[in-house]
Each structure stands twice: as C-alpha cells, then as structure tokens.
Amino acid sequence: MKKLTLTALLITMAIVFVPLASAQSMEETADRTPDEFLYGADVFMDEVGMTLGTRNVSDVAEERAAEIHIMAQENNEEGIEKASKNLNQVAKRARNQNKGLSKAQEILENVPANEDASEGLQTAKQNVSQTVEDRTPTDAGV
C-alpha cells in the first residue's frame, strides 16, 4: 500500500509540478523518452553514473519526472508507466543512500573526540551533511 501511495504521489507531482517549466526545458531535461529505442541505454548510463557518483540522484529524478510529463502530454500510458517505474527506482536509491548517510551522521555525532581530532571530525560531519543535501531530490525536481 505504501508503495502504491508513493507511486501515485510521484506521478501526481510529476504531472502537476513539472508543467511549470517550459516545454523546451522538458525536452532538454529528458535526454530520451520511454518510447525511444535508446531509452534503456539512457537509464542504464544514469544508473552507472549514480553508482560512480558522477550523476546526482536529484538530477536523474528530475529527468524521469520530465519523461513522465512528456509521456502524459503524448497520452502514452505505457511510457508513463515505464518512466514512473524508473523514477521509483531512483527515489528508492535516494532513500537507501540517505539511510546510510544518516547512520554515518549518527555515528559521527557519538564519536568522542579530543582537541586534536575535533577539527577533522567536524569536517567529516559537514561533508556527510552536505552529501545528504546534494543527493536528496527536491520537490521541484520530482
């Protein structure tokens, strides 16, 4: 039930919020759409990029939302379903990454540090916090 609710929410947000951008911007955001031959390769390359850290999860989520919007404009239900499935996978990846990062934050908060280590520990805390912010999809992107 939770999964169905999340899917409905993501699709609704994509259809409601994404139209706020221009149509040309949608085309630029979505490299390929689910009805194109190379769509699978585009999704694969995005997955590889997120794994290697060269693609931001938020950017990929925005791209998938734009794909849903374009497919909705074309009344392509199969395309909407395909892009929605991929958007759900990106959202799951973001949640999983943030769980790990949240656990790292929790561990760092509980590390006893002497004066010599406190600066390095503080830097590590800031880096983890910034990474969480960078990897969290925004409402505008989804």
Predicted confidence (pLDDT) per residue in 25-55, tens digit = 666 667 788 999 999 999 999 999 998 989 8
Backbone φ and ψ for 84, nearest 5 degrees, come out as -65, -40
- Alpha carbon 96 to its chain's center: 11
| Nearest partner of 72 among 5, 19, 4, judged by Cα | 19
Asked whether the predicted pLDDT for residue 93 surpasses 50, the reply is: yes
Range with the lowest mean pLDDT among 8-12, 33-37, 104-108, 118-122?
Answer: 8-12
Question: What pLDDT does residue 118 have?
Answer: 63
pLDDT value for 69 = 86
The one-letter amino acid at 131: T
The single-letter code of the amino acid at 12 is T
What average pLDDT does the chain have?
74
C-alpha 44/C-alpha 4 separation (Å) is 24
CA proximity to 61, closest of 20, 92, 36, 38: 92
- How many Å apart are CA 47 and CA 44, to the nearest integer? 5
> What is the tens place of the pLDDT at every residue in 58-72?
888 888 888 888 888
Per-residue confidence (pLDDT) for residue 45, from 0 to 100 = 94
pLDDT of 135: 57
Residues 6+ apart with CB under 8 A from 125: 105, 108, 109
- The residue-averaged pLDDT of 75-104 equals 83
Q: What is the pTM of this model?
A: 0.60
> Which pLDDT band, with edges at 50, 70 and 90, does 142 fall under?
very low
Of 82, 91, 127, 124, give the one whose Cα is nearest residue 10.
91
Residue 99 pLDDT level (bands cut at 50, 70, 90): confident
